Structure 1
Amino acid sequence: MPRHFYCVSKGKSFDGLTAVWAELILGIKAELFNNLYLGLNVQLKMSVTETVPNNFENIYIPGFHKTYDSSGIGVGYGYTISYRIPLYKKVKE
């Protein structure tokens, strides 16, 4: 019966990985019900700079997007659902 040996190489540590980008966010927020809101937004991101050490390429930057398509531009979207806790009542005049 043949034996199989597997070798696991030690992981390498890379320090000083940084990325900087500019981001433009446009959004809208609407009240659905009393004190319940829904917000929608779109994001346009442009890469400014990133550090790339030897023998290592950044393929994904958290918060930006994938970087292996080399466009330097990212897009995104998001939504929020929020509830405003009424701490006091307005006195209507």
Structure 2
Amino acid sequence: MAEYDLRRMQEEAVLRAREMQSRARFPHPPGGGQGRGKAAASEKSSPPPKEPPPPKEEGALAALFQDKERTVILALVLLLSQEEGHEDLLFALLFLLL
């Protein structure tokens, strides 16, 4: 009888492991385990979400000045390009802009 219990426990362990693997492959949305049936039913009845409007097209200058750090680096590049003897620093700043 001990062999029967051992085999039954092994089979149950295999079933639990397979169940956990199937749950890991298809994760459920966050929100808890209780009430999933009601949430799924309400999601099916609700209309599909509307697509957000496409982003506005901005000019090239507006795109350059969206990031403050890039703007500061661009200003430094412009200032250093007018002076002589700072080529290595100028190239380093240009590398940061990449």
TM-score interval (norm. to shorter): under 0.3
Structure showing greater radius of gyration is 2
Q: Which has the higher contact order (CA 8 A, sep 6+)?
A: 1
Of Structure 1 and Structure 2, which has the larger fraction of its residues in strand?
1
Q: What TM-score do the two structures reach when normalised by structure 2? A: 0.20
Of Structure 1 and Structure 2, which has the larger fraction of its residues in helix?
2
Q: What TM-score do the two structures reach when normalised by structure 1? A: 0.20
